[in-house]
Amino acid sequence: MLFTLKGLAYCYRKHVIQAWTGTSMPDHKIALLGTGLMGAHMARNIAKVGFPLAVWNRSRSKAEPLAAVGATVHDTVADAVAGADIVISMLADGVVVGGLVTDAEVTGAMKPGALWIDMSSAKPEEARAQAAHLAGLGFAHLDAPVSGGTKGAEAATLAIMAGGEADAFAHATPVLEAMGRPVHVGPTGSGQLSKLANQAIVAVTIAAVAEAMLLVQKGGADPAAVRAALKGGFADSTILQQHGERMTEGNFVPGGLSKFQLKDLDNLLNESGQLGLTLPVAEMTRDRFADFVENMDGADKDHSGLYLELLKRNGMDA
């Protein structure tokens, strides 16, 4: 029998999770809120390894395809979280998640002692507020944002940065491992702080790759050959290989939305300001994303679309 690498990876994840749970079919019920570009893939991978799964999305049509992998689709958040041992939120921002966490109808439907894992990108202070509120109601909390984009979400190779109590992380590990590689990075808020650091690196690297791709194109070199030449070297990165290709091909169909990249940079600079820090490269990159999102109709384009802002700066057409 022939196995694809993707199939082998799935079998390995299932084996690991079965070892953790001590059963051939995990019995913890999971509720996942938010089945957009990332959440749908994450939900699919949770269901594939055998966890009973309930899902909710503001637009039900985005959640309905998950019924094909065994998920139960609900019309309300309260119905989705009812009886769940672990609730996962993958929503637009901390404000949206906070609105659910503080909704008495939602928390009133939750199973006593349940764990809420917020995998959205939010501010560290929002994560701490969520955790404090839930603790007062007898629930545990982790802030566990992710990196890896839609490709990582689909392949279950997401980098997962978890902040919160060590016991809560240990309890959540089998579920998190269905989606990627979880690491406990510290107390509540540390997951979101780690994601902000990640997003600073991503945004600044996108800006650098855009400049490099424009330089080699205008200088007469073959951008694809240059990327191949740099592969494995000190300048190599996923962003160079994946987004460098996007830039030179003009493919800005969203994987990571530019409006969310801008949101994350705003959160980063808010946090750095509270710490009394100045981050000049992040500040400059944030202003460029703001121009792209607000003045160039770039909000719903991939964040590699910052390349278009660079073209505009140089008086060039896309």
- What amino acid positions are annotated as catalytic residues? 195
In one-letter notation, the amino acid at residue 246 is R
- DSSP assignment, residue 111? P
Cα 37 from Cα 227, distance rounded (Å): 27
Q: Using an 8 Å Cβ cutoff, are 261 and 303 in contact?
A: yes
Cα 45 from Cα 174, distance rounded (Å): 12
The DSSP string of 44-94 is HHHHHTT--EEEE-SSHHHHGGGGGGTPEE-SSHHHHHBT-SEEEE--S-H
Phi-psi map region of 220: left, alpha, beta (phi>0 left; psi -120 to 50 alpha): left
In one-letter notation, the amino acid at residue 25 is M
Element housing 186 (H / E): strand 180-186
Neighbouring CB atoms inside 10 A of 43's CB total 31
Count the residues in the chain: 318
Cα 97 from Cα 285, distance rounded (Å): 27
Cα 69 from Cα 97, distance rounded (Å): 26
Closest CA to 254 of 224, 298, 292: 298
Tokens 């944030």 belong to residue: 286
Cα 115 from Cα 39, distance rounded (Å): 18
Q: Using an 8 Å Cβ cutoff, are 35 and 26 in contact?
A: no
CA dihedral 78, 80, 82, 88 (to 10 degrees): -100
Phi-psi map region of 50: left, alpha, beta (phi>0 left; psi -120 to 50 alpha): left
